Amino acid sequence: MIRSTSLPLYVTLATFVIAYALCASAYPAMLSTRVAANLLTDNAFLGIAAVGMTFVILSGGIDLSVGSVIAFTGVFLAVLLRDTSIHPLAAFAIVLALTTGFGAAMGAIIHHLEMPPFIVTLAGMFLARGAAYVLSVDSVPITHEFYDWLQDIYWKAPSGGRFRLTGALMVLTFLGGILVAHRTRFGQNVYALGGGAQTARLMGVPLGRTTIGIYAISGGLSGLAGIVFSLYTSAGYSLAAVGVELDAIAAVVIGGTLLTGGTGFVAGTFFGILIMGLIQTYIVFDGTLSSWWTKIVIGALLFTFILLQKGLTWATTLRRRPAPGSPMPS
Amino acid sequence: MAAPHAPLRRLAPQIIILAAVLALNLAVFPDFFRIEFQNGRLFGNLIDVLNRGAPTALLAIGMTLVIATRGIDLSVGAVMAIAGAVAAKIVVDGHGWGTALLGALAAGGACGLWNGVLVAWLRIQPIVATLVLMVAGRGVAQLVTEGTILTFLNEGLIHLGAGTILGMPTPVVIWIALGAGVTWAVRRTALGLLIEAIGINESASRLAGINAKVLLTCVYLVSGLCAALAGVIVAADIKGADANNAGLWLELDAILAVVIGGNSLLGGRFSITASLLGALIIQSVNSAILLSGMPPEFNLVIKALIILVILVIQSPRIGHWLYILRASGGDPAPRRKTPVKETAR
């Protein structure tokens, strides 16, 4: 029998395969490598941010600052490259250090002041977005040979699909995330923390270090997502990437990670991202459906997966509790 | 809560913060407190604060109740967009403003009911349950407006957002009346106590005989209705329903108003008046930033810093330290298991 913790992952995988098959039967062109390549390129920044979000949600927290940090990174890079003659790679290093530090600071506040992650990252969201506004309210174009060079790196598949650097970066991030989550002590600590902070502490998990690490990862990956986003749009705009955190959370949930923390897979998030990208691609192919259907379908998917998770949780608690008269844990 | 001067003491931090922010307003703009009566309508910056704060204040009323049950309602912004779209659609189709208002309230109520059922009956965490509608809601609103900004010229509906009642802008009258009504309903009956009981310990409250499911559903229903009212006001104010931008990020302002109002996100004791003061504080900060001639870009940074300061003051750890400090200082502090927020002013 399939373990109930990995069942959501299989459901996500099956949903993706069936959805792709349905799309392909309606529009055979969906099978081309162009579509596959665009699916990766267009969702690269969202995917990278979602990896960080997966860690946060696995630990039972939430990070609402993701979209703002992406916007801040873009504006910061654009302004830095416009006003100074610094090399983009150095700028990348600076901005990654900044965003990682920002995430770590939020983690520290959450841990040391015992405040709900929701409200702390909400403040972080305002702060990052506000910092982006302060840097520039206009869209700042990025023109640098190094950027052009990075954007021109791609591997052309036989049938014309261009697999770009950013897509590869997303896949690498996911692979890294999977390794960290399942093959390191830190990853196990994250799962333990999500299973229950009190239990984890009794087991000897360093709560402070883990919490700060988790939010630092989320902040750093948001920064990386911001870099990818600036490569994607060649500009920095303080109003960009509004609501990306919601898309990332939706992808994580559709990917089968329990929002209460403790169970889930980084790999599931990857397919969550692909499913969301697929919906958008289908709407583009169809041409008659309006863009707002994306939101409705994603909302419906979110609802379905939440119900599925709820059902699974119920099933497992019922199996563990033979006495039906005992009160249900909330 | 038994002492007669308790309500004032509960509200003292909010009143002091509001007074400080208003004083700041006065410092940057000497005419701030001047109120004129022209063309049968009150004019002045203070009235503006009350008027512009109306959507946040309305949302804060519902949000206070939801947060008191240890929940959260992320969908209010999207519900505002839906309600505004429904109201505009009904008016554009040639019906009266009363029908439009009822339709919008029905839509908001349905959204609230949906959230309530997910939270109370299906036992989904509030953040997640309301996230569904937050994501899908704007899509639904766009479905209603068919992707355009629906404009209307119905006098009655516009009156709700831009008109006046006895010289006072209608939104101000609406939120003050609703705030007073809900406060009366929860404080003059046992309702408020029951809501607090759910927030403090849901299982215990259920064992004590409280019908937690129905009450939880009702709380989300009220939040949906408040959001619908706010949505109609926002739509009426601009004479059009903008599904993309109506109420955008207002859910965060509403949560912030509740938090500034000294209500714990962990549920339990609540004060609607304090939340309303919180909404006014937010609006006064906005107006201070605008009046001072500072670039509006700083608005968000300042807001974030204010939240951070308030959060740090409210944090249980700091409250605990202060409690210990006071206790060791020989001050006979009242014995409480958990330090209450206002002690950490």
Complex ipTM above 0.90?
no
Q: Where are the domains of chain B?
A: 42-271, 299-345
| Mean pLDDT (whole number) for A230-253 | 88
CB-CB under 8 Å, B136 with A295:
yes
| Closest residue on chain B to A112 (Cα) | B317
Among A168-177, A232-241, B85-94, B303-312, the range scoring the smallest mean pLDDT is B303-312
Q: What is the pLDDT of residues B155-170, one digit of tens each?
A: 888 888 888 888 889 9
* pLDDT of amino acid A2: 53
- B333 in contact with chain A, both atoms CB, cutoff 8 A: no
* pLDDT of amino acid A34: 85
Tell me how close the Cα of B298 comes to any Cα of chain A, in angstroms.
6
Q: How far is B25 from B290, CA to CA, in rounded Å?
A: 10
| Mean pLDDT (whole number) for A86-115 | 93
Report CA-CA distances (Å) from A29 to A33, A34, A36, B217: 9, 9, 11, 47
Report yes or no: A278 and B114 within 8 Å, Cβ to Cβ.
no
* pLDDT of amino acid B251: 86
Report CA-CA distances (Å) from A221 to A107, B53, B301: 14, 36, 22
Q: What is the pLDDT of residues A164-219, one digit of tens each?
A: 888 899 999 999 999 999 999 999 999 999 988 889 999 889 999 999 999 999 99
CB-CB under 8 Å, A303 with B132:
yes
* pLDDT of amino acid B329: 67
Tell me how close the Cα of A113 comes to any Cα of chain B, in angstroms.
5
Q: Where are the domains of chain A?
A: 7-318
* pLDDT of amino acid B336: 46
Q: Is residue A111's pLDDT more than 50?
A: yes
Q: Is residue A33's pLDDT more than 90?
A: no
CB contacts of B308 in chain A (<8 Å) are: 109, 123, 127
| pTM for the model | 0.83
Please identify among residues 250-289 of chain B the ones whose CB lies closer than 8 Å to any CB of chain A.
252, 255-256, 259, 265-266
* pLDDT of amino acid A326: 44
Q: Is residue B341's pLDDT more than 50?
A: no
Tell me how close the Cα of A191 comes to any Cα of chain B, in angstroms.
19
CB-CB under 8 Å, A118 with B301:
no
- A239 in contact with chain B, both atoms CB, cutoff 8 A: no
CB contacts of B285 in chain A (<8 Å) are: none
Among A63-67, A309-313, B132-136, B160-164, the range scoring the smallest mean pLDDT is A309-313
Tell me the residue type at B289. Answer: I
Among A294-308, B34-48, B73-87, B297-311, the range scoring the smallest mean pLDDT is B297-311
Q: Show the CA angle centred on residue B133, arms to residues B128 and B139, nearest 5°.
A: 140
pLDDT class for A227, splitting at 50, 70, 90? very high
* pLDDT of amino acid A197: 87
Query: Per CATH, is A7-318 categorized as 1.10.10?
Result: no
Q: How would you class A233 by CB atoms within 10 Å of its CB: exposed for 0-12, middle for 13-18, buried for 19 or more?
A: middle
Q: What is the pLDDT of residues B211-235, one digit of tens each?
A: 999 999 999 999 999 999 999 999 9
pLDDT class for A322, splitting at 50, 70, 90? low
Smallest Cβ distance to B128: which of A124, A259, A290? A259
* pLDDT of amino acid A321: 58
Q: How far is A153 from A166, CA to CA, in rounded Å?
A: 9
Average pLDDT, chain B: 85
| Mean pLDDT (whole number) for B102-114 | 96
Q: What is the pLDDT of residues B68-78, one digit of tens each?
A: 999 999 899 99
| Mean pLDDT (whole number) for B200-213 | 90
Smallest Cβ distance to B311: which of A123, A129, A306? A123
> Angle at which helices A244-254 and A44-58 pack, to 10 degrees?
70
Q: How far is B279 from A118, CA to CA, in rounded Å?
A: 19
Among A221-225, B180-184, B305-309, the range scoring the smallest mean pLDDT is B305-309
CB contacts of B303 in chain A (<8 Å) are: 126, 130
- A293 in contact with chain B, both atoms CB, cutoff 8 A: yes
Please identify among residues 6-65 of chain A the ones whose CB lies closer than 8 Å to any CB of chain B.
62
Give the three-state DSSP class for B43.
strand
Report yes or no: B101 and B91 within 8 Å, Cβ to Cβ.
no
* pLDDT of amino acid A216: 96
Q: Is residue A75's pLDDT more than 60?
A: yes
Tell me the residue type at B171. Answer: P
Smallest Cβ distance to A330: which of B131, B143, B202? B202
Name the token pair of B116.
């309530």
Report long-range pairs for A84-93 (Cβ below 8 Å, ≥24 apart): A87/A146, A88/A144, A88/A146, A88/A147, A88/A150, A89/A146, A92/A227
Q: What is the pLDDT of residues B280-338, one digit of tens each?
A: 998 998 888 888 877 777 777 887 787 777 777 767 777 778 778 887 765 544 444 44
CB contacts of B142 in chain A (<8 Å) are: 290, 292, 295
**Most B CBs within 10 Å, among A295, A304, A307, to test the B interface:** A295
CB-CB under 8 Å, B132 with A118:
no
Tell me how close the Cα of B224 comes to any Cα of chain A, in angstroms.
18
| Mean pLDDT (whole number) for B258-266 | 85
pLDDT class for A313, splitting at 50, 70, 90? confident
Gyration radius (Cα) of chain B, Å: 21
Report CA-CA distances (Å) from A293 to A98, A304, B147, B242: 37, 16, 11, 17
Q: Is residue A328's pLDDT more than 70?
A: no
The residues with which B44 forms a beta bridge, in sequence order, are: B35
